[in-house]
Amino acid sequence: MEYKILDIQIAERIATVVINRPKALNALNTETMNELHHFFITALPTNDAIQGVIITGAGEKAFIAGADITEFSDLKDDEGMLLSKKGHDIFDAIEQSKKVVIAAVNGFSLGGGNELAMACHIRIASDNARFGQPEANLGLVPGYGGTQRLVQLIGKGRALELMLTTNMIGAEEAQRLGLVSKVTTPEELMAACKKMMNKILSKGPIAIAETIRLVNAFFDKNLNGFEEEYRSFGTLMNTDDVKEGSQAFVEKRPANFTGK
């Protein structure tokens, strides 16, 4: 697929994905969602050259300022449900990805944009970032998983407050609440994301993928996360990575993981 909105650069096992609609504050229109769907659901899982993804927005004003509201006015109920379901499919794929996805939040992270950021495994923000779920201003609810993931990340009371008042919060408050892991200057944002990603990619790739799966299992009502954990722990004992990691620890050297 030829991407017209997403600017994707791959270097040293990391794909940097830039949503490039700065004049629209990188709002998620149909074309953008189609490209995100293809990248995260079709392309990423089968591309062995990519082991981690950093996603951000073009320009200095916005990560993603929400969905493109201009596309909403003529939607009927069934069309609205299909639109929401498509967003869920994309963001679920991000959340469940075996490859680490970090959101580099630069500027406004609102509505669908904040929902995309919350689907990522880790969020790092510049100090000018602003977060919010303003859907109630439109007479709507968050449609891409926001009512669920915001509660998971910051708790029911604060999540309800933000969604019901539609208030925005700054980067420092977002970090205090647990919505973001780290706050940097805008100039240092991408470097901080790459530094964290490189540290993660130095670990055992099977272990990283399983850790993501097990953490997600906590929120899956069909799974017992504790059972999933001890089974995974036992299964990983048979991998070459565990043998290499243990030997490297004994020999006091960096491990050379192969993902086997």
What is the percent of the chain where pLDDT is above 70? 100
Is 115 an annotated catalytic residue?
Answer: yes
pLDDT confidence bin for 162, thresholds 50/70/90: very high
Q: How far apart are the first and last CA of the chain?
A: 30
**What is the pLDDT, as a whole number, of residue 219?**
93
What is the percent of the chain where pLDDT is above 90? 93
pLDDT confidence bin for 75, thresholds 50/70/90: confident
pLDDT confidence bin for 39, thresholds 50/70/90: very high
- Residue bearing the bigger pLDDT, 180 or 81: 180
pLDDT confidence bin for 152, thresholds 50/70/90: very high
**What is the pLDDT, as a whole number, of residue 238?**
94
Is 135 an annotated catalytic residue?
Answer: yes
In Å, how far from its chain's centre is CA 2?
Answer: 22
Q: Domain 6-201 class? A: alpha beta
Question: What would the DSSP string read from start to end of 214-260?
Answer: HHHHTT-TTS-HHHHHHHHHHHHTTSHHHHHHHHHHHHTS-------
Question: What would the DSSP string read from start to end of 40-68?
Answer: IIIIGGG-TT-SEEEEEESSSSEEE--B-
pLDDT confidence bin for 252, thresholds 50/70/90: very high
**What is the pLDDT, as a whole number, of residue 74?**
79
Catalytic residue among 35, 95, 135, 210: 135
Q: Give pLDDT tens digits for 47-70.
A: 999 999 999 999 989 999 998 888
